[in-house]
Amino acid sequence: MSRNKQAGTAWESRVVAHLREHGWPKAERRALAGGKDKGDVIGVDGVVLEAKAAAAWRVGDWLKELTVEKRNADAETGALIVKRRQQPVGKALVLLEFDDYLALLRRANG
């Protein structure tokens, strides 16, 4: 396994552990799905989560990838969980499109 792949797998595992610690006990890493990728983490209903631990940010490419994954998963919303160097997982950045953010707000307000 390549070094980048190892870093990505480790980051996904940390994201899952953090979700579980904070109220999403069903969170888990998703098995690879080839061309029908549905994100990296499952267990948050209706939300595709894509974990990124890359040294170089490619937000435009990542958002395009997330759009495809949301479609594949038939999910309403999606977010990128982006690792910050030398920061704990709780300090990761969450990037999402504004409409996805609004959808999350609507869900939160029932």
Q: Look at residue 33 in the predicted model and tell me its pLDDT.
A: 64
- The domain locations on the chain are 3-108
What gap in Å lies between CA 71 and CA 67, rounded to an integer?
A: 6
Q: Look at residue 11 in the predicted model and tell me its pLDDT.
A: 96
pLDDT in tens, the chain (110 residues): 788 888 889 999 999 999 999 999 999 998 776 678 899 999 999 999 999 998 899 999 999 999 999 999 999 999 999 999 999 999 999 999 999 999 999 988 87
Q: Give the E-state strand segments of the chain in sequence order.
A: 28-29, 41-42, 47-52, 77-82, 93-95
Q: Look at residue 28 in the predicted model and tell me its pLDDT.
A: 94
What gap in Å lies between CA 49 and CA 52, rounded to an integer?
A: 10
The dotted CATH code for 3-108 is 3.40.1350.10
What gap in Å lies between CA 36 and CA 90, rounded to an integer?
A: 29
**Alpha carbon of 46 to those of 54, 88, 90, 107: distances in Å?**
25, 26, 21, 10
What gap in Å lies between CA 57 and CA 27, rounded to an integer?
A: 25
